Amino acid sequence: MSTTRSSPFPVTQWTAIVAVCRSGTPEERQRALEKLCTDYWYPLYAFARRQGRSREDAEDLTQGLFRYLLERDMFSSADPELGKLRTFLLTIFQRYISDVRGRERALKRGGGEDVFSLDAEEAEQRYGNEPADMETPEALFDRSWALSVLQGALHELGQGEDKSGKGRQFEMLECFLSPQAVAEGNYESAARELGMNAEAVRKAVSRLRGKFRDCLRQQIAATLSEPSDAQIDEELVALKAALRG
């Protein structure tokens, strides 16, 4: 039975960026790309590092890619057949790396204005915690992408809970959204902290898990050109597989 919602999915991040790049002002294109960079730079950085690039090279390549996307107006001619934002970005990044590999470095530090602020220290800390046995740069990219989507869903859920006056409860119960949660004692501890009984905590966690699933599906939908429930299900399976490694 179809689980399609009665209302259609909103304009996705993927299609919105393409639309802005085709008809928006330079300032609008810059803002759209900055938002994209903020959300998804790390999977590309991790891909370059796992290829054997130095920290500085990975940082330059990641910044250089987004300058390249902006300067070449790549989104205006984006192939809709790619369908998925993560597929598009990785395909263009691989092409970009090959393009700069055969000639003298075009990515000199300070040689071009950065599109966004990249926290290299944070990036290296995250990269240092990545699984050492992740065999290919592509596998690490997919895992990092999946984590970025999950973090986006958690952030959206947390903002919604905070606006509804349940920010403190969300902070205490966020850990129960992890697949690795939950010993019974954790419910009792959370109940004491929140002044609730354990059954009320279980109900609150169940409510949050339902909301988190919805937020996650919306986050995935935002990275697809024409999202449907079937496509979202397929991408969700792929992201879960990437997290399992």
Which residues, listed in sequence order, are joined to residue 224 by a DSSP beta bridge? 84
Type and span of the H or E element at 146: helix 137-163
Q: How confident is the model at residue 165 (pLDDT cuts 50, 70, 90)?
A: very high
Residue with tokens 């079937």: 230
Q: Rounded to an integer, what distance in angstroms lies between the CA atom of residue 76 and that of residue 19?
A: 8
Does pTM top 0.85 for this prediction? Answer: no
Q: Token digits for 104?
A: 């003298």
Residue pLDDT, tens place only, 80-102: 555 788 888 898 899 889 887 65
Residue pLDDT, tens place only, 109-154: 444 556 566 677 888 888 888 887 767 999 999 999 998 889 889 9
Cβ distance 201 to 175 under 8 Å?
no
Q: Rounded to an integer, what distance in angstroms lies between the CA atom of residue 176 and that of residue 166?
A: 15
Residue pLDDT, tens place only, 169-226: 999 999 888 755 554 457 888 899 999 998 999 999 999 999 999 999 999 988 888 8
Would you state the pLDDT for residue 224? 87
Task: Return the SS3 of 84.
Answer: strand
Would you state the pLDDT for residue 93? 92
Would you state the pLDDT for residue 3? 33
Would you state the pLDDT for residue 79? 61
Residues in the chain: 245
Would you state the pLDDT for residue 9? 37
